[in-house]
Chain A
Amino acid sequence: ILNVEQSPQSLHVQEGDSTNFTCSFPSSNFYALHWYRWETAKSPEALFVMTLNGDEKKKGRISATLNTKEGYSYLYIKGSQPEDSATYLCAFAYNTDKLIFGTGTRLQVFP
């Protein structure tokens, strides 16, 4: 059974703090790793699609790294803001057809 684990399950930080979360996935048959941001009462929105070992991607204050050999990806948020409060999902692809989602890290940023 292919499993995608995310940690921590939830996180509370103060505005201005930097934070990071982990996504662990099987290191064999790797095709792609996606990160999504899911705000309450909205739809998941894509942050990054990563395919190459050592890949680093950045969008504003959010960045992600990828290690396919050991099966993990980190998502970093620099200087967290209250509007960053959301659930962050990672999803692993072992073929071209489908994603296996983790259960997410729920981030709450307090002003």
Chain B
Amino acid sequence: NAGVMQNPRHLVRRRGQEARLRCSPMKGHSHVYWYRQLPEEGLKFMVYLQKENIIDESGMPKERFSAEFPKEGPSILRIQQVVRGDSAAYFCASSPPGQGVLDHEQYFGPGTRLTVT
């Protein structure tokens, strides 16, 4: 059973370009969470999605950031018009159906390290 997969592992973008980060959850998992880790900081919650639904996006910056988890295919975190401050490691985690964080641990992917030049 493959773990949570993220690609690309490293992404370099110039200021103003778009960044697309992909996350394939573990087989059978319907909950996807995105986190951001800025340099010298901890993991910060961004968004929680279930298939075709955004459940909680309270950690997402209001502008330029969006996320989706379509019926088919991976979850995508999209950052438009990237700025230097977006440089960070972005981690995706998944969990099986149930009561979210109440009854299941989260399984993390290896992360995508975004560098904005």
Chain A residues engaging chain B, CB cutoff 8 angstroms: 31-32, 34, 36, 42-46, 48-49, 51, 89, 91, 93, 96-104
Contact = CB atoms under 8 A, between A and B. Distances in A.
A98 B45 contact: yes
A32 B43 contact: no
Contacts of B106: 34, 44, 46, 99
Interface of B: 3-4, 33, 35, 41-45, 48, 55-56, 58-59, 91, 93, 99-111
The 8 closest A-B pairs by CB, nearest first: A46-B105, A43-B108, A103-B42, A96-B100, A97-B56, A93-B101, A101-B43, A98-B45
A93 B102 contact: yes
A45 B101 contact: no
A75 B101 CA distance: 19
Nearest to B99: A96
Given A43-B4, A44-B108, A99-B106, 15 more contacts: A31-B101, A43-B3, A44-B93, A45-B108, A48-B105, A49-B104, A49-B105, A91-B43, A93-B102, A98-B101, A99-B33, A101-B35, A101-B43, A101-B44, A103-B42
Contacts of B107: 46
B110 A43 contact: yes
